Amino acid sequence: MSVGTALLVLSALAIAAAIAWLGITALRAASGPGPRRPVEPEDVEELDVYLVCGECGTELRITRLGELQVPRHCGEPMRLERRGGT
């Protein structure tokens, strides 16, 4: 086997592995809970999103949305506030 052929075989194997990995990832996503498309966590770090307790004013900065479940504080669901820029 020449070096060129070996490289070709290696590339083919790499591509096959990548395709297999993609397939497995897609299958895992498809078998997850929820609608057809899995909820991808949305990066909101630059958006200044806070969870605020309406009772005592406690603020929690959150950096990712998506699978977020609004927590409770003082017995009430916390308020979602977005404070962008100015």
Q: Which residues bind Zn ion (CB under 5 A)?
A: 53, 55-56, 58, 73-74
Shortest reach from residue 78's CB to Zn ion, in Å: 8
> For Zn ion, which is the closer residue by CB, 42 or 76?
76
What minimum distance in Å lies between the beta carbon of 33 and Zn ion? 30
Residues listed for the chain: 86
Residues whose CB is less than 8 angstroms from the CB of residue 49 and which lie 6 or more positions away in sequence, other chains included: 61, 62, 63, 65, 80, 81, 82, 83
CB of 72 to Zn ion, least distance (A): 9
